[in-house]
Amino acid sequence: MTAPAPVDDVDGVRPRVDALLAEHVARLRTELVALSPDTAPLADAVEAMLGGGKRLRAAFAYWSWRAHGGEPGSSDERAALRLGAALELFQAAALFHDDVMDDSDTRRGRPTAHRVFADAHRGLALRGDPRRFGDSAAILLGDLALVGSDDELAAGLEPVRPAVGRRVRLVFDQMRSEVTAGQYLDLLAQSQPWPDDPERMESTARLVIRAKSARYSVEQPLALGAALAGADERALGVCRAVGLPLGEAFQLRDDLLGVFGDPTVTGKPAGDDLREGKRTVLVARALAAADPAQSALLVRWLGDPALDARGAAMLAEVIAATGAREQVVALIRELADGALARIAAVGWSEPARSHLVTLARRAVDRTS
């Protein structure tokens, strides 16, 4: 018996978004290589980044479009799918830049783009600093993906009513500004001394989560799909009330996986967040509950780039011993349950409502 398709593959959503992204990369490759064959590695890197991922943002947007009256097989369905492709390209742009900012070695089990280009610099015996070359190339890759997201959105909105297109564009532009501001707030928080007040640290961490990740992971994709279906501001408000807590729960799960996840599943080395000293809700809760000995260990080793696997495991054990892990799991459940209760109350049409519920659960209960 054939296994049922994952929820984001129902009606061929994922393969159709993947096909649009493949078409985009093919066009990009043709344009770049026409300028110079030396630019082919840029297309390779964009293709590699787009080759992974869960397509959750595209799926949230598509099923929200359906929940608000979008009809499969209609002329607007391709617009909904291209909106999904635009979201995936925007995420790729954010990841290229985020990996440089975090100085990450791997992404989805593969070397990050800035590492690949630094190695290429060494392999070709080029002049200058390989690290700077790699970082610069990755910044340009992020810019390419960002331009691509705008191209896909514009192409998708061409056939829709102008008023609908303007509303979708307004939400999309707001999302991009929020993520950029959120990245800066994250950078600023990471650059400050360890705060004496864990409650203030948690408040800042949750502000960063909402601006940098929660809104563009769930809230804005839901709002974008609804806007494309012609939904009014009240309906968009419901999408935001559902999507913000789900997006926050999504990122809190990511923070847990960054410390306790299995690298063979997450695709990232265990302990990266600890080496970076990320000011997460998990760390804030650990500091708030830690005894003096635990607190001294956390403050001493969090943010040490030389922290090895053994040290990262020791810190993870300390965090777990404070009870912070269970507290964050409970917070995730609280946020998710509230969002799911709102979905149950709004009466979105089927089968979209059921698919959105499954997507929500997948987002917060994941292992990678």
Nearest to 265 by CA among 120, 52, 112: 52
Residue-range definition of the domain harbouring residue 207:
7-364
- Asked if the structure places residue 130 within a domain, the reply is yes
CA–CA distance, 183 with 177 (Å, rounded to integer):
10
- Asked if the structure places residue 68 within a domain, the reply is yes
Structure tokens at 353: 């409502």
Alpha helices by DSSP H, listed for the chain, are 13-35, 40-50, 56-67, 77-102, 113-123, 130-157, 162-191, 198-209, 220-228, 233-260, 263-266, 272-276, 281-289, 292-301, 309-321, 324-346, 352-364
Q: How many CB atoms lie within 10 A of CB 125?
A: 6
- Asked if the structure places residue 159 within a domain, the reply is yes
- Contact at 8 Å (CB) between 58 and 87? yes
- Asked if the structure places residue 2 within a domain, the reply is no
Structure tokens at 7: 């929820």
Helices 281-289 & 324-346 angle (0-180, nearest 10): 130
Residue in the block written with tokens 């806007």? 227
pLDDT by residue for the chain (368 residues), tens only, comes to: 334 445 556 668 999 999 999 999 999 999 999 999 999 999 999 999 999 788 999 999 999 999 999 999 998 999 999 999 999 999 999 999 999 998 888 888 899 999 999 999 999 999 999 999 999 999 999 999 999 999 999 999 999 999 999 999 999 999 999 999 999 999 998 888 887 789 999 999 999 999 989 999 999 999 999 999 999 999 999 999 999 999 999 999 999 998 998 887 777 777 888 988 889 999 999 999 999 999 999 989 998 988 888 999 999 999 999 999 999 999 999 999 999 999 999 989 999 999 999 999 999 998 77
Q: How many CB atoms lie within 10 A of CB 342?
A: 16
CA–CA distance, 102 with 91 (Å, rounded to integer):
16
Our measurement of the distance from residue 332's CA atom to the centroid of its chain's CA atoms, rounded to an integer in Å, reads 17
pTM (predicted TM-score): 0.93
The number of distinct structural domains making up the chain is 1
Residue in the block written with tokens 């080793």? 301
Structure tokens at 97: 């830049």
Q: Classify residue 3 by its DSSP letter.
A: P
CA–CA distance, 252 with 335 (Å, rounded to integer):
10
**3-class DSSP assignment, residue 107:** strand
- Asked if the structure places residue 1 within a domain, the reply is no
Look up the CATH number of the domain holding residue 53. 1.10.600.10
